[in-house]
C-alpha cells in the first residue's frame, strides 16, 4: 500500500523553485503573475549524522532506498511577481522517512517552510533574482535501539537566508534556472546551504513540467550531554515538478 501511495505522489507531482514565464509571456503587461505547484516531488536521500539525547548515529540513506523508506510527503510552492521586477515566494516541504540498518531503526520527520522576497533584473531572456527570507525547520528523530529504550527528540528553529537565482530562456518552451542561498548565521543553524538546478519545459500556455536536483545542508545543535540534539548533514535528491501559471 505504501508503494502505491508513493507512486501516486510521483504521478501527481512536482515543482520547487518555480521558473518564471518564458518568451513573450515574460513581457506580459499584467501587473501580477502567479505560479503554483500544488504538489512536487523531492526524492530525498540523506548523508550525515544525528545526535538524539546525547546518542550519536550515522544518518545515511542511499538514493536506491528512497521509495522503500519514504512514509509520507506533502509539498507546496507558490510564487507571485509584479511586472517582472519584484515578488514573493513561499514553499512547504514535509518529509517522513523510516530508514533502518542492522542495529538501529530511525523514524525521521521534518518540516521545511520558507518565505522570501526577491528583486529581479531582466535582460534578453536572462533573469537574476536577489532574494532574502526565512526558513523554518522542525525535526523529529526517534532512534529504536536494540536492547535499550527508544529515544526521541524534536527541535524547531528559524534560519534567515540570502541568495541568488539565475534563469535563462534558451527557447520559447525551454528554460533553465539555478538557485543558491546561504543561511543560519548562528541564529538558528550554525550554517545552512541550499542549491537547486532545474530545467523547465512549457508545452502549454498555463502549464509547465520540470526536472532537476536539490541539495540542502544544515548544521544545527543545541543542549548538552544527555539532552544534546545535533543534526549535521545533507538532504539531496532529484526534483520533478508541475507548475500552473495564471
Domain count, the chain: 1
What would the mean pLDDT of 38-51 be, rounded to a whole number? 87
Structural domain that includes position 219? 2-245
pLDDT of residue 165: 98
**More confident call, 27 vs 200:** 200
pTM, to two decimals: 0.83
Side-chain-side CA neighbours of residue 19 (13 Å): 36
pLDDT digits (tens, 9 = 90+) for 187-238: 999 999 999 999 999 999 999 999 999 999 999 999 998 899 999 999 998 8
Angstrom distance (rounded) from CA 136 to CA 139: 10
pLDDT of residue 7: 37
- pLDDT at 61 (0 to 100): 73
Q: What is the CATH number of the domain that holds 67?
A: 2.40.160.20
3-state secondary structure of 60: coil
- 89-125: b (≥16 Cβ within 10 Å) or e: bebebebbbbbeeeebebbbbbbbbbebebebebeee
Q: Read off the pLDDT of residues 138-175 as tens digits, 9 standing for 90 and up.
A: 999 988 877 777 899 999 999 999 999 999 999 999 99
pLDDT band for 21, please (50, 70, 90 cuts): very low
- What does the mean pLDDT of the chain come to? 84
Residue 204 φ/ψ, nearest 5 degrees: -125, 160
Amino acid at each position: 500500500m505504501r508503494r502505491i501511495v508513493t507512486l501516486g505522489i510521483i504521478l501527481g507531482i512536482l515543482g520547487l523553485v518555480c521558473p518564471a514565464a518564458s518568451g513573450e509571456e515574460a513581457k506580459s503587461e499584467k501587473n501580477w503573475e502567479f505560479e503554483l505547484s500544488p504538489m512536487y516531488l523531492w526524492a530525498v536521500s540523506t548523508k550525515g549524522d544525528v545526535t538524539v539525547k546525547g546518542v550519536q548515529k550515522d544518518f545515511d540513506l542511499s538514493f536506491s532506498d528512497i521509495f522503500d523508506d519514504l512514509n509520507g510527503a506533502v509539498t507546496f510552492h507558490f510564487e507571485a511577481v509584479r511586472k517582472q521586477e519584484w515578488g514573493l515566494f513561499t514553499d512547504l516541504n514535509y518529509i517522513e522517512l523510516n530508514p533502518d540498518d542492522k542495529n538501529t531503526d530511525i523514524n525521521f520527520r521534518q518540516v521545511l517552510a520558507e518565505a522570501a522576497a526577491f528583486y529581479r533584473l531582466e535582460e534578453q531572456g536572462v533573469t537574476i533574482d536577489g532574494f532574502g527570507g526565512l526558513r523554518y525547520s522542525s525535526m523529529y528523530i526517534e532512534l529504536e535501539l536494540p536492547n535499550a529504550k527508544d529515544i526521541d527528540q524534536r527541535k524547531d528553529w528559524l534560519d534567515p537566508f540570502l541568495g541568488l537565482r539565475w534563469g535563462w530562456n534558451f527557447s520559447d518552451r525551454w528554460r533553465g534556472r539555478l538557485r543558491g542561498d546561504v543561511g543560519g548565521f548562528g541564529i538558528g543553524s550554525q550554517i545552512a546551504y541550499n542549491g537547486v538546478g532545474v530545467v523547465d519545459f512549457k508545452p502549454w500556455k498555463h502549464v509547465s513540467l520540470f526536472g532537476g536536483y536539490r541539495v540542502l545542508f544544515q548544521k544545527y545543535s543545541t543542549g548538552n550531554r544527555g539532552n544534546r540534539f545535533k543534526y549535521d548533514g545533507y538532504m539531496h535528491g532529484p526534483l520533478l515538478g508541475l507548475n500552473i501559471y495564471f
